Structure 1
Amino acid sequence: MRIPPAAVSRETGERLDAFLALLLRWNARINLVAERDAETLRRRHVEDSLQLLPLLPPNPGPAADLGTGGGFPGLVLAIADTARPWHLVESDKRKAAFLLAASAELRLAHVTVHAARIENVTLPPLALLTARALAPLGTLLGHAARLLAPAGTALFPKGRNAEAELTAARADWTMEVARFESRTEPGATILRITGIHRAGP
């Protein structure tokens, strides 16, 4: 399936510009991402993150992004989606410090940063879980099964090996999967997954 374009308000666009400027300043000191110019960051990371926006569930329950790093996709989505609480989980203390500073500077009161490993974090039952370029699908499903509310949704962008990861994961998990073609990376797929349960014996 194709994802509809993500439309953002002028205010959101201005906040995203401010976020990019802040990211570039911090990136010169602590190497948050490999890219060093605003346009490449916007195309490879911001737009890639924003394409998840039309796929977010209507339920405004809490959301979490695992391994947020320099802010992708969790902080970008939180800038555009202010109706729900966002929890950003990042174990790297330097990156977590950036996320805290960015959330404060951009006045994102609905964002909470957790400087902790995923397996050690305590979160409310989630309506939405995201993770980008973090781990194989089977590992992500283990986190999702623990953290999602029963009707929760996981959104996992995956590259060209998405189908192989799905096949491997189905040995241990049952789930409902919808596939969406990435608008920003040819051959990549976004998996929207619900009903995650461990497979029976």
Structure 2
Amino acid sequence: MAQQRVKRSHGTGPRQRLTARDWADAALAAMGEGGLAAVAVEPLAARLGTTKGSFYWHFANRDALIEAALRRWEEVATEAVISETEAEPDPERRLRALLLRVTDASAAASLEMSLLATATDPRVAAALARVTDRRIGYVAALFAELGFTETEARRRALLAYSAHLGHTQLGHAVPQALPTGAARSRYLDTVLDTLLRRG
């Protein structure tokens, strides 16, 4: 590993040292803006106000950074969301809160759209597979808590996740197609009522 550099702020003294997480977050931001092709060491170093030496302190190469960034995306966009959702003890309220949260976040989900668009890359494909399985599995567990059979819980979780992806895609491609205000609340209620309907 090369020696890490300390960032400096235009003569205002030393800044906090960059971490591997800082680089991963910067790589994720770049992916959201321009896909995998936007993950390049020199532009990221400029964005972070440091040199390539800092990068090589943490990563052997660009591929290692991409892998770290994808793991960071899994952590922030899936595991952290699930952990926060778990604070609600009631499974139906948990499902409603999760639906509301991911719907709110979908407008800013350019990174997710970028990753879906580059799903042919083996690294991205593997991360998407892990995230999809984890998300659907978690939602299926909520439906199972609500009394659905394992097969039915999985089916409804897949439907919920498909609705989420469709909503996210519309939010980026045709945002005017999505309801706002009171109509949005009614829309979300309808989605949840449909997912919970029995018989």
- Is TM > 0.5 for Structure 1 vs Structure 2? no
TM-score, length-scaled by structure 2 = 0.25
Point out the structure with max Rg over C-alpha: 2
**Greater share of helix:** 2
